[in-house]
Structure formats: C-alpha cells, structure tokens
Amino acid sequence: MPLDKYQYMSNVWRDDIFNNKVVFCTGGAGTICSAQVRAMVHLGANACIIGRNVDKTENMAKDIATARTGSKVIGIGAVDVRKPEALAAAADRCAKELGSIDFVIAGAAGNFLAPMDQISPNAMKSVIDIDVLGSYNTVKATLPYLIESAQKHMTDGKTPPPNGTGGRIIFVSATLHYTGTPMQSHVSVAKAGVDAMAMSVAIEQGPKGITSNVIAPGPIADTEGVARLSREQDRENSAKSIPSGRYGTVKEIADATIYLFSDTGNYVNGETLVVDGGQWHTSGVGAKGFEYPDFLLSGSSVTGVTGGKKSKL
C-alpha cells in the first residue's frame, strides 16, 4: 500500500535525482532495506530486491513500486546469498530486465540473542556466512555492472555529473562490535568482517570509480531487528540511554542512503556512517535489560524477544 512520503524519506530531496538508475538490494524485503529501496524508487530509480521468502519478496516489490507511478520493481525470491550462483543469476536478470545496476545495497543478515556457550558451531557459521560471505557474493555478482555504471557517471566534483551518479555500494552493518555486546558475539564477528570488506572494496575498486561505504544503524523502531534483539518491556528504558532520547526510524536510514548514493556523496569512500542517535557511545552492557553479568552467569536462555535463539541457523 502507498505510504506517506515522510515515513520513508525526508522532504529535502529532489524527486528525479535517480532517474533511469537501478538499485539492487539483498535483504530487500526487510523493514530497513525496503525503506532504503522505496526512497530510491520515489526519487526516480527502478529496483530489484532479493530475498529468501518468495511471497514476502514479491509482495514487497509490488508495495515498493507504489512509491512512484511508472516505476519498475522486481522481487526475486528463493535466493540464498550464501550461494554465489543464485546471486549471479539474480544480478544478471536485474541488469537484463532493468538495463543496468548502478547502486547496490548489501543488506541480507541473520541475528538472534544468545551467549557464546549457547551458540552452536553451525549457528555461528551460518551468521558469518550470511553476513560476510553473502556480502562478498553480492559484490562479486554485481561488481562488473557497478564498474560499468561508475565509468558512465564519473565526476570531478567541480561540475554536476552529466548523467547523475552510479557505481556505488552500501553495506548495512551495525555498531555491536565497537565496544563489544553480550549475546551478540556471532553478529559482532560478522559485522566486523563486513566493515573490513567494505574498506577493501573502496581501496581496490575506488580507482575504477566505485564508492563503497557502510551504514551502521542503531536501534530502529518497528523493525525485525528491534523485535529480535530487545524485550518490549525494556525498550522505553533503553531509549532513555540514547543521547538523542529515542529509537531511530527507517526514514533516517533511507536518508543516509540517499546522501551516499547521490551527488552529495561523491567524495565519500571507504567510510562508515553511523546512524544511531549516539547510542553506541552509551551502550553499556545492561542496555538491553539483561543485567550483566548476572544473566550470563545464570545460564538462562533468552526469552521475551521475537524469534529467540534459532538453533537451525
């Protein structure tokens, strides 16, 4: 269903800045990534979103398409980012049907709350594979198209790019590993790897015109991440510990995306843009309502969150 514009982007952006451009997004049916893509589509882009669940991905593609009359949004489900051949086929289909791949959002991720001694080796491996290997596979599948786009949309920073921008990738990461976060060892390791990969892409592919950056969201309200990683009864208190005094919104992540992908982000490369209201600076170990170290020493399993520990991971 059509959403009010301010639910997914600010009013400051000009409507046509991504005309005739294409964004490719893994994890595109999620609450954060779908807002990022919806904002791009509103501003003129067409899109291809990738996900594992067929119905969810295809329905979200239809929903995102309502952001702009005449937009083209493809939803490709049944794609596991851990399988490079599946991502390569999705990227090829995107470029063939929409004409190019100018922007990439690597947003597929897996997470749950559990201390290390309750995480199986398979669970640890799966989270790292989804986040790190999945991001790598996304880069490999889309890089030829991004290089082609970058060459078409080079800018010297002195004059407006004649054909707009292109050849840019954003990795969606987190702040969990900055100071260390209990019950998030698996994701902290994975996101640190994602951050390192983004920097390597910037260094190696920057001379070809590519920009590679990271967006690290903090706690974003009404998302799967908040539901999985915090208990409802703890959220009001944890919001008070954030310097900005509240949880963020998906709109604020989408605005950061537009900034990095548009003319404003031309000279930003190899950087991490933290969008968390200052939360990581005050993210003490008890911020999620699980008292440290008492909860860890108790040996209890996490309850009161959506999903919980997924042993099948």
In 3D space, the residue among 91, 198, 228, 191 whose CA is nearest the CA of residue 148 turns out to be: 91
Amino acid type, 141: A
Rounded CA gap, 117 and 181, in Å? 15
What percentage of the chain carries pLDDT values higher than 90? 73
Q: Is 125 a catalytic residue?
A: no
Rounded CA gap, 123 and 313, in Å? 4
Confidence of residue 284 (pLDDT cuts 50, 70, 90): low
Beta bridge partners of 74: 48
HEC sequence for 92-119: HHHHHHHCCCCEEEECCCCCCCCCHHHC
pLDDT at 5 over 80: yes
Catalytic residue among 191, 251, 288, 309: 191
At 6 the pLDDT is: 92
In 3D space, the residue among 128, 126, 220, 109 whose CA is nearest the CA of residue 172 turns out to be: 109
93 Cβ contact list (under 8 Å, min separation 6): 48, 74, 76
At 273 the pLDDT is: 98
Per residue in 49-101, pLDDT (tens digit) is 999 999 999 999 999 999 999 999 999 999 999 999 999 999 999 999 999 99
Confidence of residue 161 (pLDDT cuts 50, 70, 90): confident
Nearest 5 degrees, angle CA 6-CA 23-CA 222? 40
pTM of the model: 0.90
Q: Is 300 a catalytic residue?
A: no
Amino acid type, 217: P
**What 8-state DSSP symbol labels residue 248?**
B
Rounded CA gap, 192 and 202, in Å? 16
Per residue in 20-61, pLDDT (tens digit) is 999 999 999 999 999 999 999 999 999 999 999 999 999 999
Rounded CA gap, 284 and 291, in Å? 10
Rounded CA gap, 39 and 5, in Å? 8
Per residue in 226-269, pLDDT (tens digit) is 655 555 656 667 788 889 989 999 999 999 999 999 999 999 99
Catalytic residue among 126, 135, 149, 173: 173
Q: Are 259 and 253 in contact (CB under 8 A)?
A: no
Dihedrals phi, psi of 48, to nearest 5 degrees: -135, 120
pLDDT at 310 over 50: no
Rounded CA gap, 194 and 313, in Å? 19
**What 8-state DSSP symbol labels residue 302?**
P
Residue 168, helix vs strand vs coil: strand
| Architecture of the domain whose range is 5-298 | 3-Layer(aba) Sandwich (3.40)
Give the number of other Cβ atoms within 10 Å of residue 196's Cβ: 12
Q: Are 167 and 207 in contact (CB under 8 A)?
A: no
Dihedrals phi, psi of 171, to nearest 5 degrees: -100, 130
